[in-house]
Chain A
């Protein structure tokens, strides 16, 4: 039998800076007017200076059989999302070919296309159609969707009046009732409250165990991967470095993670990289007390974040924030450490390195997602978006282990005793 998905020699290249630059038609036109021939020459010969090119994916070859649930894991920036985008036809590959034998439904985000002015009922139809459902299909599943989301009372209220929880529930409910031959899912389970996440996982389980459904699933939630997928691809720097059973893939992945390298992704194309571009982190290292790069620590140890930065525009004051998020509930901020590291005017071109030490005495074992922020005084105090840089989950999670009994519930230990 033929495989339902065949990927051959797939590659995707981006020009660095394609994202950030503000392209003005005015400039392009004046450039052409000033030097018509050089522009023409550039176009023909190609402006593809090797240094400006970044391969988000390279030489990918794999097949997926019908009914298989394939997990795709890797650090941020490894190319997972790019792969899903190519498979969903949102962006074309640079090299290679993909054969898809079946109807594809992709779920890269919940609630795509929700319109705040429209009511819940109207948005179910709109969102369903955007996700690729036919009108009669939506009609057939309408009651089920409403039931799953639990918003019956608010069906005719514009969604702009919904609480964020209701909004997410409705969005996921529509998505969960999508029934294509091939379902592509990107990290959408990490929404809503814990209770609802459980419900979503249950629904995902139901979807994946239904016969004949092929699912490609990207997640940072290793529990979910373990529960849902039979086979996993591990991606690193745009290449497949492991393809096989989930259990083996997970241990392989944990091993490559533990060197504690943070991918600062300087200037490369990455949607997760937010920031004003007027200053940036140039390097971040996660170290233990002996200055060895690691990302696995025991409870009670001390972790050091060594952050280097560079300033590209003059600004006033410099603040840094490091946040821990629990990977169990992505939206749960565990702690946030804010420091003013410099006062007064900071000149253009200045750079430096900061070290933040964090004592891991009270944290529980588990995985924690990190978030690094640096910005000027205005950004820190008033949320002004003029000068800041943000690394949001650019690294595999920080893994905290305990040498004693594994207590994996909770995220904090409070100082307590029986008196």
Chain B
């Protein structure tokens, strides 16, 4: 085994082999995050259900009943919960990914490992939450008599992957900026909160005219949530155009985020 350390690395190269070498560390980081998360809260795993559930109740009361937002004919609780499920995965992961390097500052400055392990492992914890929280959706679908379409079922893993990669793309950019610029951590919560309102979580995509709908697609989560509603609840055909645009924008964010991360990654220990 020979390792050569040089001033410049091939930053366009994704070193999957190296990540494989460090797979045990990857496993232990994920394991640590899951363990610590459920150890620190009294209710443990229940929290994963409790949080989106309460938000659903509140949104149903205020946006569904009082503000009477349209929901494409779907009962508002199911409608908003489907969106919230993916939104919660997206927003909490994004917040954690963006802080993943500064939170592990001590490790980053003392030990070498492929840095990308940190953001990825912090997403996985949230996927565990996602799986737990989806049990509520299954229950609600029974209650309201919804059956997913076959395409919808097949689409779930793809939607999940799209969410993960959107988080990774945007998160890598933020987490790298966060290492260098100390105010990013204060901007982030605000930014994520804003995103909630330009993502069709509490309202359907259909409130935007057909002509301008592609603009929503620039936000990868729009396509994901819209397709999740159509597919998982099996109410209508999936809007493939919107999903396609979202997939492309996801890819663009991934490329931007990854390249910026690769460019600055090796200097983390110097500036953190």
Which residues from chain A sit less than 8 Å from chain B, CB to CB? 14, 18-19, 22-26, 28, 85-104, 106, 108-109, 112-113, 115, 117-118, 122, 125-126, 129-135
Contacts and interface: CB of A to CB of B under 8 A. Distances in A.
Contacts of B110: 90, 108-109, 112
A92 B7 contact: yes
25 contacts: A18-B271, A25-B183, A26-B183, A87-B5, A90-B111, A90-B112, A91-B267, A92-B6, A93-B7, A95-B7, A98-B6, A100-B4, A100-B5, A101-B2, A108-B111, A109-B106, A112-B106, A113-B107, A115-B32, A117-B35, A117-B40, A122-B35, A130-B25, A132-B25, A133-B24
A89 to B, nearest CB: 4
A99 B5 CA distance: 6
Contacts of A126: 28, 31-32
A24 B32 contact: no
B187 interface: yes
Contacts of B255: none
B5 A97 contact: yes
B32 to A, nearest CB: 5
- Chain B interface size range: 35 or more
Given A24-B181, A98-B4, A100-B3, A91 B40 contact: no
Contacts of A88: 111-112
Contact of B111 (A14, A18, A118, A131): A131
Query: Which of A100, A101, A125, A130 has its CB near the most chain B CB atoms (within 10 A)?
Result: A130
Nearest to B272: A19
Contacts of A100: 2-5
Closest 3 CB pairs of A and B: A25-B181, A89-B112, A129-B28
Contacts of B267: 91-92
Nearest to A127: B28
Given A25-B177, A126-B28, A99 B2 contact: yes
Interface in B1-36: 1-9, 24-25, 27-28, 31-32, 35-36
Contact of A102 (B1, B9, B271): B1
Contact of A118 (B27, B36, B270): B36
Contacts of A104: 3
A129 B5 contact: no
B39 interface: yes
Contacts of A115: 32, 36
A98 B9 CA distance: 13
Contacts of B182: 22-24
B263 interface: no
Contacts of B7: 92-96
Given A22-B182, A100-B5, A118-B32, 17 more contacts: A14-B270, A25-B187, A88-B112, A91-B266, A91-B267, A92-B266, A95-B7, A98-B6, A99-B2, A99-B4, A112-B110, A113-B104, A113-B111, A117-B35, A118-B39, A129-B27, A130-B111
Task: Tell me the interface secondary structure of chain B in the complex.
Answer: helix
Contacts of A89: 5, 112
A101 B1 contact: yes
Contacts of B2: 99-101
Given A24-B182, A118-B32, A103 B112 contact: no
A103 B22 CA distance: 13
A25 B184 contact: yes
A172 B3 CA distance: 27
B269 interface: yes
A29 B119 CA distance: 25
Nearest to B108: A90
Interface string B50-92: 0000000000000000000000000000000000000000000
A410 B182 CA distance: 47
Contacts of A133: 24
B19 to A, nearest CB: 14
B15 to A, nearest CB: 12
Given A100-B2, A118-B32, A135 B109 contact: no
Q: Which of A28, A92, A134 has the most B CB atoms < 10 Å from its CB?
A: A92
Nearest to A186: B110
B213 interface: no
A125 B112 contact: no
A186 to B, nearest CB: 9
A135 B40 CA distance: 25
A101 B1 CA distance: 6
Nearest to B177: A25
A216 to B, nearest CB: 14
Nearest to B36: A117
A130 B31 CA distance: 13
Nearest to A103: B1
Given A24-B181, A112-B111, A134-B24, A92 B36 contact: no
A267 B98 CA distance: 30
Contacts of B108: 90
Contacts of B27: 129, 135
B133 to A, nearest CB: 23
Contacts of A18: 270-271
A342 B177 CA distance: 43
Contacts of B31: 126
